[in-house]
Amino acid sequence: MSVIPVEFRTAPLPAEPPHEESSHESRSALSALRLGASLYVPASRSDLGEIASGRRFPALRSMIFCTEDAVHDRDIEQALGHLAALLPTLEPGPPLRFVRPRNPLVLRRLLRMDGIERVQGFVLPKFGPQSLGDWLRVWDDGWGHALLPILETVEVFDRRQMEVLRDRLADSGLRARVLGLRIGGNDLLNLLGLRRARGATIYDTPLRGVIADLVCIFHPAGYRLSAPVFEYLDTPEVLAREVDADLQHGLIGKTAIHPLQIPMIEARYGSLPQTTKWPWPCWHRRRRRCSRCAMPSASPRPIGAGRWGSWNERGCLGLGSH
């Protein structure tokens, strides 16, 4: 029996707000159903403005500017400088934009930046009952930002700890801000000393039961959960199977670690017509080399969130400078 939420099956994509809406108005009507395939974008990229404006990927529904594991320690100040320059220039309207702070101290700096009201919210890494207090101590937001905490610590394996987190969120005053909870699949597998095999979905690993527990703990309390990333670029048929399984588990939204993954994810959601043209001609030429820059058109190895920033720095698929 399908457990895909009824509203997702009957109305896959709520209408986007008009471009002229203010950021506050957009947030007030924000739904986890509108996130779709969220692209991780390293905030250290030199072309951050073009991506953020939606010009680079017009069909992209949401993006996450990352200052955490997609950015090297030595580049964090550069990344924050890029964001400080970008934020005041952002225009309201789609795509939806979020920032992933490296830690609570970086979140404090972000909240004090001019133009921070122009993003929809924040993706909080390493979120759990032990770190909740650290995030709360720096949270002085007055803009109504949404939150997307990531469940990716050892506490996730303890059902009781997740029940504690659910209850503490309700008591913290953040409950209304939580747009959804994201499941950090790769970090959780790393904690187990495992890596998924090629051809395997996340549901072919020990995390299948963990995901089911999280759904049973948080869904009845009214929380949305979004699916773990898929780290292979050259097995789109496996990605398709995984997205189908995500939906069967009631997970809405999936982070893309490379632009190549977005058409497949969105196609499984049914939010894009099959004739939609994406600016990534290499998608159907797997295992060949891009004619524009001689880079492989799909990575034969798993990659981490945001790694496309360095992998494509030479310009493959139009992401860099030709």
291 domain residue, yes or no: no
308 domain residue, yes or no: no
Checking if the pLDDT of 228 tops 50, the result is yes
Q: 117: pLDDT confidence band, cut at 50, 70 and 90?
A: very high
Q: Identify the helix (H) or strand (E) that includes residue 38.
A: strand 37-42
Mean pLDDT calculated for residue range 227-245: 95
288 domain residue, yes or no: no
297 domain residue, yes or no: no
Phi-psi region of 108 (alpha: psi -120 to 50; beta: other; left: phi over 0): alpha
Count: domains in the chain: 1
296 domain residue, yes or no: no
What CATH number does residue 206 fall under? 3.20.20.60
Q: Identify the helix (H) or strand (E) that includes residue 60.
A: none
The rounded distance, in Å, linking the Cα atoms of 8 and 269 is 9
Checking if the pLDDT of 311 tops 50, the result is no
Checking if the pLDDT of 210 tops 80, the result is yes
Indicate the residue type of 77: E
Mean pLDDT calculated for residue range 15-42: 63
Gyration radius (Cα) of the chain, Å = 19
Domain that holds residue 129: 6-280
Dump pLDDT digits (tens) for 118-153: 999 999 999 999 999 999 999 987 899 999 999 999
Q: Identify the helix (H) or strand (E) that includes residue 254.
A: strand 254-256
Instruction: Output the average pLDDT for the chain.
Output: 81
The rounded distance, in Å, linking the Cα atoms of 55 and 241 is 30
Most confidently modeled range among 91-95, 109-113, 140-144: 109-113
The rounded distance, in Å, linking the Cα atoms of 32 and 232 is 25
318 domain residue, yes or no: no
Model's pTM, two decimal places? 0.80
Give the closest residue to 225 by CA, choosing from 166, 274, 170, 265: 166
305 domain residue, yes or no: no
317 domain residue, yes or no: no
Which pLDDT value is given to residue 29?
Answer: 53
The rounded distance, in Å, linking the Cα atoms of 267 and 43 is 27
Token code pair at residue 81:
């400088």
